Amino acid sequence: MENSVSQKEINDMVWRACDTFRGTLDPAQYKDYILVMLFIKYMSDLWKDTRKQFEAKYNGDKQRVERALSRERFVMPSESDFEFLHSKRRENNIGELINIALEKIEDANKGKLENVFRNIDFNSEPYLGQTKDRNRRLIHLLEDFANPKLDLRPSRIGNQDVIGNAYEYLIAHFAADAGKKGGEFYTPSEVATLLARLLEPKSGDRICDPACGSGSLLIRVAEEIPKHDFALFGQESNGSTWALCRMNMFLHGMDSARIEWCNTITSPRLVEGDSLMKFNVVVANPPFSLDKWGADEAAHDPFNRFWRGIPPKSKGDYAFISHMVETALEGDGRVGVIVPHGVLFRGGAEGKIRQAMIEENLLKAVIGLPANLFFGTGIPAAILIFDKNKKTKDVLFIDASREYLDGKKQNYLREQDIEKIIKAFKAFKNIDKYAYRATVDEIKENDFNLNIPRYVDTFEEEAEVDIPAVQKEIKQIEAELAATRKEMDKYLKELGLI
């Protein structure tokens, strides 16, 4: 059996590749070049492995091998192969050769990867420097990925999310600050797993993430369906992140996923005729409290998504929530969204939207998460679950903020923590100091404020103080202190100091 390639080995290689760009690129841009090269390396290894399998199957018959390869879901042109690019690494126009290789990959895989690489330029002087410096950097990059230990064939990497895990690693080390400025925080794998299990996607579902980023959350939800009988949809406004999402979908064999490059709020592209597409499952970790999200256009929204109220100009949380709820199928749609805690209690327009959604009996659960789970921010977040097929008018509140693995820089949800949340959610009943099933009347009494401590009492009574025992302990300490002082005076006298 072949030795597997660990995620640590991939991360170590990614770290070495980062050295190529230090002092040249903004750290947040490292991922664009490194992850594209990782994609080329992965697909080249996969193509080489597939070729060998067909050669063995057809006893080296070249014609039959090429015919079989042409029917594969992915085609790797010979001049796009990593080994070819590595062999040309000292050419004076290596940046141009890499760009051409990417164009050929797109042309050979139209419909699956068309325009995916249009935002990346390996021959860019503003980003990578003048010819001599640019070539030197690209030589280093190609040599980093040529490490024999970095064999990314499926038999060696198993089910690892190569692009997603490497993206997470880069975000954690370099791009967190860039995301923080826009309120964008990568969804850790364990939080994605929790969301996926809460929403219980089923065979035949249409699943959408309207703020899909690199696609890892969308993929994780899809993987909950055993036979992969689903349809995936996503929207992403950042061009380079949209490209990563398309690559990520491809690596996971989810070629048919429809991922649109657009602004979900101001110009959604997942439409059917004059209406928004509807989905069984809608899931997202949208930008927290996005400023300038498009409030000026919301009053005239052609899809009437903001009929409950227009969110504040400086906080777009409820713009995304409104969009997600409106795109959930009537009678079946489930929505899971990660939000900052302000969404639970802020007043004004947000309070009115929140009240309307509660009175419509859409909100099913509010789940408080631990602080410091997300890269780039230490603030705690919450998960809101909406359900257009609710069987009760009550809302379940879960305070899961105190149970996690304490990491040095970041906290993590353990499997036991995830399991406890899922169990409480399915039970949908009171659990002392952890979960509370609130009636609509109770929520109304709280002015539709969803702040979790209003419902889940986590107060721990302090142990009763035994006054006589404490007094006895104090007397004993004072006696020991007096004896120590007496002993100290004795030594000081012997030394002639007193």
pLDDT, tens digit, for every residue of 380-432? 899 999 999 999 999 999 999 999 998 777 898 999 999 999 999 999 999 99
pLDDT digit string, tens, across residues 428-466: 999 999 999 999 999 999 999 999 999 998 766 566 777
Give yes or no for a contact between 35 and 152, defined as CB atoms under 8 angstroms apart: no
The packing angle between helices 30-57 and 94-108, to 10°, is 60
Look at residue 342 and tell me whether its pLDDT is greater than 70.
yes
Do 17 and 145 form a contact (C-beta atoms < 8 A)? yes
> Given pLDDT bands bounded at 50, 70 and 90, which one contains residue 378?
confident
Per-residue pLDDT band at 184 (split at 50, 70, 90): low
Please state the domain extents for the chain: 7-160, 180-454, 465-498
- What is the C-alpha separation between 372 and 375, in angstroms, rounded? 8
Q: What is the pLDDT of residue 486?
A: 84
Alpha-carbon distance values, 160 to 167, 251, 317, 321, 337 (Å): 13, 10, 32, 31, 25
Q: Which residue shows structure tokens 């349809």?
A: 231
User: Do 195 and 385 form a contact (C-beta atoms < 8 A)?
Assistant: no
Q: Is 217 exposed, middle or buried (0-12, 13-18, 19+ CB in 10 A)?
A: buried
Check if 7-160 and 180-454 are the same fold.
no
What DSSP designation does 412 have?
B
Assign domain 7-160 to a CATH class.
mainly alpha
Place of tokens 């579902």: 205
The reported pLDDT for the residue numbered 272 is 94
Residue 160 has pLDDT above 70, yes or no: no
Report the half-sphere exposure of 122 (CA within 13 A, side-chain side): 29
The CA distance from 102 to 86, in Å, is 14
CATH for 180-454 is 3.40.50.150
Structure-model confidence comparison of residues 26 and 417, the more confident one: 417
For residue 358, pLDDT over 60 is answered with yes
Q: Name the residue among 397, 401, 363 with its Cα closest to residue 379.
A: 401
Confidence of residue 172 (pLDDT cuts 50, 70, 90): low
Predicted model pTM: 0.85
Classify residue 358 by burial, with Cβ atoms within 10 Å: 0-12, 13-18, 19+: middle
